[in-house]
Amino acid sequence: MKDAKKLNDMRHSWAHVLAQAVRKFYPKAKLGIGPTIEDGFYYDFDNVDLSENDLAKIEKEMRIIAKKNLNIKKEIWPIKKTKEYFKEKNANYKLELIESLIKNDRIKEAGIVFTGKGTEDEFIDLCRGGHIKNTKELNTDAFKLMRVAGAYWRGDEKNPMLTRIYGVAFETKKELEKYLWQQEEAKKRDHRILGTKLKLFTFADEVGPGLPLWLPNGTVIREELETYAKKIETQWGYRRVATPHIAKETLYKMSGHIPYYADDMYPPMKLDDGNYYLKAMNCPHTHMIYKSEPRSYKDLPLRLAEYGTVYRYELSGVLAGLLRVRGFTQNDAHIYCREDQAEEEFLTVMKLHEFWYKKVFRIKDFYMRLSLPSKDSSKYANTPNGWSKSVKIIRSAMKKSGLPYTEVTGEAAFYGPKVDFQIKSVIGREESASTNQLDFLATERFNLDYTDKNGNKKPIYVIHRSPLGSHERFIAFLIEHFAGAFPVWLSPAQVWVLPISDSFKKYGEEIIKKLKENDLRAELRDEAESLGKKIRNGQIQKIPYLLIVGEKEKKASSVSVRHREKGDVGTMKVNKFIEKVLKEIADKK
C-alpha cells in the first residue's frame, strides 16, 4: 500500500474490530488502548481469561464483523458527556485516559469512534483516529492475530497487568503470506542458534555476559571482513592508525563523554596517576593523533581509519547475542576536513555505504535516518550556530546522494546530528548498520585546527563514519540475512574434499594441497562414514562446494563438484575448479 496513512488507518480500524470481537466473547472485558505498531496493531484488555488457543475464534468473529460493511464514524464529544458515558460503562481505563489528556493537553473535547452506529452491531470506543470509512475496506484475508502477552497498563509495573493481543494486517494476502514466511524464517535464522550450530562464537560466564568469544570459524569471517575493508578504505583514500583500549579520565572530560556519556561507560580504574577508563569511543584517541603535529590546508581532508575495540556498559537484561554486547570492534574512521570540504566528504561516505550494501552484500532494502536534537537542550552541546551549519551540510549531502532517507527528532549525538544507515535482511529484520556524524564540537573541545593558505588558524570539521558498524552486530545481521550460507569469500570453510573410500584419500590430499596453495580454505573429510552422510554434514555446515573423488575422478585428474544450492554440477578439472572459485571470491559473489 503506497499510502502509509491509509495503511495505518486500516490497522487502527482492525484494532477496534478486535476489541469488538473480544467483547462478543467477554462482555465484561475492560478496554485499555489499541494503537498501531509496525506491521499491525494490538489491544489491551482487563477482566478476560484467554490464551492463544482462543485467537482462532476471535479471528473468525473479526472477519464476520468486517464483512458486515459497518460504517466507522468519529464524533467529538464534550469532556463532560464523554466522562459520563464511560463512567456509566464502568470503563475505568478510558476514564483514566481522559483525565490524563485533560491534565497534559488541557482538552475540552474527546474523539469518540462509532463502528456500525445505529445498528445492532454498534460499538463505541475512545480514540483520536484515524480510521477507514467502512469495514468493507478491510481485507479479511490479509490479517492475522499473532500472540497473547501480558502488559502493564501504560507501561508502569505499578499498574495492573493486562492481556494484550497482537495482530498484523496488510493490504493483500500475498503481503501477509510474505510476513508469515519471514517470521518462520526468522526462527530458523536466529544468529544465536546458527552461531552455535556453525561454531562461530560462544559466551562464557567466567568471561562475562555480553563479551563474545570468537571461535575459529567466526574469526575467519571477522578477518575476511576486516581485510577487505582495509583494502577498500586504502583505495578510497584512508590511512590506518591504532589506539589503546584505555585512557585517562582527562581525555574523556575533554571529549565530553564525561558527563554526557558516563552512564554507558565502565567504572574508572583508580591508578597511581589518576583514573583510567575502558575506551567507549575511538574518536577522542584519534583526535589526539590529529593534534600530534601541525596541520595545513594542504593536508586536508585527512582520513584516519581504525578497527578499534570499545567497551560499553549495557544492562544485562538488554544483551542479545551479538546484536547487543558490552565489547565490540568497530569499522571506524574519522575524517578531518575544512568546512568547504565537509559536504563532499559526507557525500562520499554515503557512497561508500552504498558500495558495501548494494555491490558487496546485495542488500536492496536500506535507507538513511537523520537524527536531530530534541527540545531538551541540556542533552546537547549549546552551540546553535554549529548545529544549524551541520544540519544544513548533512541535508544537502543526503539529497545529492539520491539514497532514501527520513528525519527523526531526539536521537542526535550530544556533539552533533547523525545519520544512521538502516538495513533490512531478506526476512524483514531491520538493524542500524552504522552511524555517521558531523562533529563541530571536537574542534572546540580538542582545539583542532589547521593553517589556511594565508597563515591563519581555522577550525576543523570532523566526520565520524563506520559503514560496517561493529563486527558483532554486522555479522549477526549477515548470519540471519544469509541463513548461515555465507558467500564463498566469507565462508569459514569454502571447500570440502570427500574421498568415496580410503583408497582415494591420497588423491584427496593432493587436491587439498593445490587448493591451499591458492589460499582456499579447504578440508579433507576422510571420516569412516558413508559418502551420503558426509554430504549431509556438508549441507548442515553450509559448505559452498563439496568435491567428491573416486576412481573416475582420479584417472581424469578431476573432481565431481556439488554446489551448495545447485546440487551436482558435474565433473571438472581441478585447475578449472580453482580458477572458477577464485574468480567468484574476487568478484565477491
How confident is the prediction along the chain (589 residues), in pLDDT tens digits per residue? Answer: 457 899 999 999 999 999 999 999 999 999 999 999 989 999 999 999 999 999 999 999 999 999 999 999 999 998 889 999 999 999 999 999 988 877 766 667 778 888 989 899 999 999 888 899 999 999 999 999 999 999 999 999 999 999 999 999 999 999 999 999 999 988 889 999 999 999 999 999 999 999 999 999 999 999 999 999 999 999 999 999 999 999 999 999 998 888 878 889 999 999 999 999 999 999 999 999 999 999 999 999 999 999 999 999 998 888 999 999 999 999 999 999 999 999 999 999 999 999 999 999 999 899 999 888 666 666 656 666 777 788 899 999 999 999 999 988 766 666 667 899 999 888 888 888 888 888 877 888 899 999 999 999 999 999 999 999 999 999 999 999 999 999 999 999 999 999 999 999 999 999 999 999 999 999 999 998 999 999 999 999 999 999 999 999 999 999 999 999 999 999 999 999 999 999 999 999 8
Angle at 545 between CA 568 and CA 429, to 5 degrees: 105
pLDDT at 1: 42
Residue 416 included in any domain: yes
Q: What CATH code is carried by the domain that includes residue 369?
A: 3.30.930.10
Residue range(s) defining the domain that contains residue 94: 4-186
Q: Of 158, 186, 214, which closes a domain?
A: 186
Q: What's the grid cell of residue 367? A: 535507507
Please check whether residues 261 and 351 belong to one and the same domain. Answer: yes
| Statement to judge: residues 250 and 374 lie in one domain | yes
Out of 163, 186, 209, a domain closes at 186
Question: Is 506 considered catalytic here?
Answer: no
Domain contains 285: yes
| pLDDT at position 29 | 95
Q: Is 563 a catalytic residue?
A: no
User: Could you tell me if 247 and 139 lie in one domain?
Assistant: no
One domain, residues 9 and 139: yes
Amino acid at 431: E
Beta-strand pair 246-248/239-240: unpaired
208 and 96 share a domain? no
Identify the three-state secondary structure at position 196: helix
| Residue 298 neighbours by CB distance under 10 Å | 8
Say if CB 418 and CB 432 are below 8 A apart. Answer: no
Q: What total of structural domains would you count in the chain?
A: 3
Regarding whether 391 and 244 lie in a shared domain, the answer is: yes
On the CB side of 303, CA atoms within 13 Å amount to 17
User: What cell does 448 get?
Assistant: 583542532
Q: Which residues pair with 331 in a beta bridge?
A: 307
Q: Are residues 91 and 33 in the same domain?
A: yes
- Per the residue annotation, which of 303, 312, 465, 542 is the catalytic one? 312
Domain end: 186, 202, 234, which one? Answer: 186
- CA-nearest of 58, 73, 6, 8 to 36 is 8
Residue 486 lies in a domain: no
Catalytic-labelled residue, pool 464, 481, 525, 562:
464
What's the CA gap between 553 and 548, in Å, rounded? 8
Which residue in 9, 16, 44, 283 is the catalytic one?
283
Task: Mark the binding-site residues for Zn(2+), compressed into ranges.
Answer: 283, 334, 464
Q: Give the DSSP letter string of 366-413.
A: EEEEEEE--S-GGGS-S-HHHHHHHHHHHHHHHHHHT--EEEEES--B
Q: Which of 330, 437, 494, 541 is catalytic?
A: 330
Per the structure block, which three cell numbers stand in for 379? 542533552
Q: Cell 565530553: give the residue.
A: 256
Whether 490 and 463 have beta carbons less than 8 Å apart is answered as no
Q: Is residue 490 part of a domain?
A: no
Cβ burial 489-509 (10 Å sphere, 16+ → b, else e)? bbbbbbbbbbbbeeebeebbe
CATH number at residue 568: 3.40.50.800
Grid coordinates standing for 338? 575544512
Beta-carbon contacts of residue 160 (< 8 Å; ≥ 6 apart): 46, 152, 153
Does 90 share its domain with 221? no
- Do 202 and 334 sit in the same domain of this protein? yes
Is 57 known to be catalytic? no
Based on the domain organization, do 174 and 200 belong to the same domain? no
Q: Assess whether 429 carries a catalytic annotation.
A: no
Distance of CA 250 to the CA centre of its chain: 34
Binding site membership: which residues? 283, 334, 464
Q: Which of 332, 420, 473, 534 is labelled catalytic?
A: 332
Compute the distance between CA of residue 431 and CA of residue 235 in angstroms, rounded to an integer: 27
481, containing H or E segment: helix 471-481
Q: For the whole model, what pTM was predicted?
A: 0.81
Mutual angle of helices 574-586 and 505-517, in 10-degree steps: 40
337 included as an active-site residue: no
Residue 241 and residue 182 share a domain: no
Please identify which of the residues 164, 334, 481, 554 carries the catalytic annotation. Answer: 334
Q: Within a domain: residue 261?
A: yes
Give the CATH number, domain containing residue 37: 3.30.980.10
Residue type, 261: Y
pLDDT of residue 444: 85
The alpha-helical segments, DSSP class H, found in 500-530 are 505-517
Among 417, 465, 467, 472, smallest CA distance to 440 is for 417
Query: Are 179 and 210 within one domain?
Result: no
- Give the whole-angstrom CA distance, residue 151 versus residue 288: 49
Active site annotation includes 439: no
Terminal C-alpha separation, the chain: 33
- In the set 11, 12, 418, 471, the catalytic residue is 418
Asked whether residue 284 is assigned to any structural domain, the reply reads: yes
366 with 433: CB under 8 angstroms? Answer: yes
489 belongs to a structural domain: no
Within a domain: residue 56? yes
**Is 422 part of the annotated catalytic residue set?**
no
